Structure 1
Amino acid sequence: MADAQPIAVYAAGSLREALTDIARNHEARTGQPVRLTFGASGLLRERIEQGEPAQVFASADTEHPQRLASQGGWQPVVVFTRNALCALTGPHVNAAPDTLLPTLLRSEVRLGTSTPKADPSGDYAWAFFRKADAVQPGAYAVLDAKALKLTGAADSPKPPAGRGTYAWVMEQRQADVFLTYCTNAVSAQAEVPSLRVVPLPATLQVGAAYGLAVRTDAPVQAQAFAQSLTEPAAQAVLQRLGFGRP
C-alpha cells in the first residue's frame, strides 16, 4: 500500500513538462503521491543544503547532485537523461547552424543566457563560448562580455502565470538570440510560433547530462520513483519531449 506522505522531488525547471507527466502516471499506477518542486538546479541544491527536505534531486547536470553526494547523506549520482544546447532566435534573426557564431558575434545582436552556477544552462552557454574561442580566437571575450544573464538567478524576473520563461523573454524582445536547452527552445517555439530553433553546429555542440540522486535515508517509495525514471515508461515520456537516452 502506498505511503500517504508525498515523495519530495526537486527537479530542474527544464524537466517540468516531462516530470509532471511521469509523476502523474506514477501516482495513477502506484497510488503514491509525488510533490514536485522545480527551479534552477544550482538554486535547488542550495535550498537542499540549507535543510529543505528533498528526497529525490533531478538536476540538469551532474555537478550539483554530486556535490550533495560528496557531502554525505546522498546516494551516488546516476545519469538518467540528456539534453543539448540550441539557439532560440527571434523572427528578425536569420541564422543557420553554420552562420550562428558569426551572428552571435555581431555587435548589434543581443545574446541572452541563463545564469552560470545558479542554473546549469548558463554553465553550458559558457562551455559553448569556450568552444567558440577554439574555432575563432577572441570569440570567448566577445560573448562573455555581451551575454545577458536573463534567467535562472534567484532575482531573475519571472514570466506571468501560464507563460513559458523563454517564450516570454523572447516575445518581450529582451534578447535577439537565447542559448537554452533544445527542449526549452522547442517548447518556446510551440508557444510563440514565430521563434526559430537553430541547432549548434557539430564543432560547437554542448551536451547536457542530467544527474539523479536520492537521499540515503529516503523511504523506499522515493527510491522506487527515482528508479522508475530510468525505466522504459518514463524514458518514453522524456524522449517524446526531445530528451536523449542516458
Structure 2
Amino acid sequence: MAHAQSPAASAEGAAPLRVYAAGSLREALTEAARAYETRMGVKTQLTFGASGLLRERIEKGEPAQVFASADTQHPQRLYAAAGSAWAQPTLFVRNQLCALAVPQLNADSGKLLDLMLDPAVKLGTSTPKADPSGDYAWEVFRKAEALKPGAYAALDARALKLTGSPEAPQPPAGRSVYEWLISEGRADLFLTYCTNAVAVRKELPRMNVVQMPPALQVSAAYGLTARSGDAAAAQFAAYLLTPEAQDVFRRFGFGAP
C-alpha cells in the first residue's frame, strides 16, 4: 500500500510525488513540474493519459496523489465516491476545442460545420466517456443540431473515435498521436483542444488550426484534486494555481481559471 509522502520525505529521495494528468497537459505540466522540483526539491512522477481512463485506474487502486483532469466531472466523481479520500476539486486552467484541418480542405470557421458534415471528409475525434475531449466534441455536435436539424445524428454516426480509448491506435515512439494519424491519412479534420492543435502545427506547419465559430464554441474546464491528508500532494496542487505555474500554462495556450 502506498503511503503519503511529506515534502521532506520526498526531498530525501523517497518515492516521488505521483501525478496523474490529462494527455493535453503533457508539455505544460512537465515544464511546471520541473520548475516545482527546482524550487521545492520534491521529485514528481507524471503519468499522462485520457482523464476517464486515469480515473478508472485510480479507482482500481493505482497510487496517484494528484489528479489533473481535462474536465471537472472525473475529479468530482473521485471526490464524491471516495468519502474523504480526495479533496474538493478546483478549476485550475481552461481550454477550448479547435479543428485541425489538412490544407486541401481550405478550412475556415465559416465553413467548418459543412466540412464536418461532408461525407468525403474523414472526421476524427477522441472517445466520449473515456476522454473529455470526446465529450466536448459531442457537445459541439449537439450545438450543430441547433444550427442544422439532423446534424447531431449525422455527426454522431460518422465521427471516427481515433484517440482516448484503450483500443485506440498508438503512434510509433517519438511521434505525436495527432501528427501521426493525420500523416497516415486516418483523419482530414480532427476536433481536439486548441492547445493540441497548435502543438501539432509546430510539427506539421502546413496544417490549419481552425477556431470554432461562436455558435459551436465549447469551453473545457480542467479540474484538479489531491489526496486528502497528503501534505505533498496538497502543496503541489496549490502550486499549480500560483502565478508562476499559471504563466507556464498560459505560454502553452491555456486560459486562466
User: Same fold judged by TM-score > 0.5?
Assistant: yes
Q: Does 1:10 align with 2:10?
A: no
Count of residue correspondences:
245
Partner of 2:251: 240
- Please report the RMSD computed on the Cα atoms of aligned residues, expressed in angstroms: 0.9
The alpha carbon displacement at 1:5 in A equals 2.4
* Residues 1:96 and 2:108 are matched in the alignment: yes
Q: 1:2: Cα distance to partner?
A: 5.4
Partner of 2:95: 83
| 3-state SS, counterpart of residue 225 of structure 2 | strand
Shift of 1:171: 1.1
Aligned to 1:227: 238
SS in 2 for 1:150: strand
Work out the CA distance in 2 between the residues paired with 1:156 and 1:221.
Answer: 34
Among candidates 193, 208, 211, match of residue 199 of structure 1 = 211
Q: Quote the offset at 1:144 in angstroms.
A: 0.5
| Pick aligned residue for 1:210 from 191, 206, 222 | 222
1:166 aligns with 2:191: no
Matched, 1:42 2:49: no
SS across alignment from 1:233: helix
- Contact residue 2 and residue 31 of structure 1 kept, 8 A: no
Shift of 1:92: 1.2
1:105 is the counterpart of 2:117: yes
- CA offset digits 1:132-171 (Å, max 9, x no partner): 0001111101101100000000121111111111111111
- Residue by residue over 1:68-124, the C-alpha shift from the partner in whole angstroms, topping out at 9 and shown as x without a partner, is 000121111100000000000012111110110011111111100000000000000
Please say which of residues 90-99 and 50-59 is displaced more in the overlay.
90-99
Residue 217 of structure 1: how far off its partner (Å): 3.2
Show the 5 A alignment for 1:50-69. 50-69=60-79
Quick one: distance in 2 between partners of 1:217 and 1:165? 37
Structure 1, unaligned stretches of length 5 or more?
Answer: none
Give the TM-score normalised by the residue count of structure 1.
0.98
1-side partners of 2:116 and 2:46: how far apart? 36
1:112-191 alignment, distance < 5 Å: 112-191=124-203
Identity %: 60
Q: SS in structure 2 opposite 1:107?
A: coil
Note if contact 1:115-1:123 (Cα within 8 Å) is conserved in structure 2. Answer: yes
Contact 1:125 1:179 in 2 (8 A): yes
Secondary structure of 1:92's partner?
helix
Deviation, 1:240, is 0.4
Where do 5+ consecutive residues of structure 2 fail to align? Answer: 1-7
| TM-score, with length taken from structure 2 | 0.94
